[in-house]
Amino acid sequence: MSAIQTVGLSRSFDDLVAVDGIDLSVERGELFSLLGPNGAGKTTTIKMLCCLLRPTGGTATIMGHDIREDPLAVKRVIAVSPQETAIAEHLDAWENLSLMAGLHGFDKEEVKRRSGELLDLMALTGRAKERAKKYSGGMKRRLSIAMALVSNPQVLFLDEPTIGLDPQSRRGMWEHLGALKGDTTIILTTHYLEEADALADRIAIIDEGKVVSLGTPSELKDSISGAPVTVVEAKNLTEESIAALSRKYPTLRRTESGVEIEAEEVALYDIEDSLRPMGITIDSIFRKQVTLDDVFIHLTGKQLRE
């Protein structure tokens, strides 16, 4: 049984179709990322899966429970860590976790055990007795996720878990999220494409309410790969030098810093031999790697943050 299965999941608001017949299957223990530009329908999809919004068409099951027929059962097996850090800043980490565990009906021994496990998991044990208002942004995000994990959910929805964090804190968070993979099914929404690339087992790109592509990060990048692209960076390229290169490599594009050559094989010495007699100084030559940004723009024609 899949952790999440959607069949024709749809939602309309009057004449606006926000989600248009989405079919997805997320395996147990998978970290699955939903990507899409603003207004693509991913937030509406998440709200329906969390039983916060009723579908106008189709349905979905979470761990076998239908979101239409048994929303209470769905809510028992899921947890949500929202984009806004949901912690009580006047309490310390231990008190925040204990409060959440108590709300879930844990007895004192279970509260102590579960809180201790999560403090260790999120590397907060050393500062567990400090008030949360003294924590860095990264620590607050880790505590917020730990609070969502108190109930030991089978499915965890993470909405922009690293937004606003500096690069070092963001990468540290990746390590903590990676430790959850396999035990907990995670649905991740993020505006950081490199985050989805680093963490996700599979990615669904949504645009205008439809899934436009689905696969592993490697599969998505391979799907738009044509001939390899070699980047030649040289600030003093002339029209004459570009014409000389284009005679050897017909598929050539001018860029701000030089040119990009699309060809199966590019001989670096040929490029140097063509440009050096013209007094062109080459700053660098390298093979360009396809990124998820390239995939996203290719499929949607938009930057992710639009």
The CATH number given to whatever domain includes residue 64 is: 3.40.50.300
pLDDT of 179: 85
For the range 68-74, what are the long-range contacts, defined as Cβ-Cβ under 8 Å and sequence gap of 24 or more? 74/50
Residues 29 and 159 in one domain: yes
Residues 147 and 238 in one domain: no
Contact predicate 210/36, CB 8 Å: no
pLDDT of 232: 84
Residues 79 and 12 in one domain: yes
Neighbouring C-beta atoms of residue 98, cutoff 10 Å: 19
Look at the chain and report how many structural domains it folds into.
Answer: 2
Q: Comparing C-alpha atoms, which of 181, 190, 137 is closest to residue 160?
A: 190
Answer whether residue 298 is part of any domain. no
Write down the residue that tokens 């109930």 correspond to. Answer: 151
Residues 62 and 206 in one domain: yes
pLDDT of 306: 45
Answer whether residue 171 is part of any domain. yes
pLDDT of 292: 86
Residues 279 and 151 in one domain: no
Answer whether residue 294 is part of any domain. no
CATH code of residue 263 = 3.30.70
Answer whether residue 197 is part of any domain. yes
What is the sign of the dihedral through the CA atoms of 211, 217, 218 and 223? positive
Answer whether residue 297 is part of any domain. no
Residues 204 and 260 in one domain: no
Encoded amino acid at 145, one letter: I
Answer whether residue 22 is part of any domain. yes
3 state SS for 39-92: CCCHHHHHHHHCCCCCCCEEEEEECCEECCCCHHHHHHHEEEECCCCCCCCCCE
Residues 120 and 248 in one domain: no
Which ranges of the chain have pLDDT less than 70? Answer: 225-227, 302-306
Strand order, beta sheet including 258-262? 252-254, 258-262, 229-233, 284-288
Answer whether residue 188 is part of any domain. yes
Model confidence pLDDT, tens digit, residues 246-267: 888 888 888 888 888 887 777 7
Q: Are strands 4-13 and 16-26 parallel, antiparallel or unpaired?
A: antiparallel
Residues 9 and 103 in one domain: yes
Residues 184 and 245 in one domain: no
Model confidence pLDDT, tens digit, residues 73-95: 999 999 998 877 778 999 999 99
Residues 177 and 243 in one domain: no
Which domain, by its residues, includes 213? Answer: 4-223
Residue 210's alpha-carbon distances to 19, 110, 125, 204, in angstroms, are: 7, 43, 43, 10
pLDDT of 52: 94
Residues 192 and 213 in one domain: yes
Model confidence pLDDT, tens digit, residues 10-32: 999 999 999 999 999 999 999 99
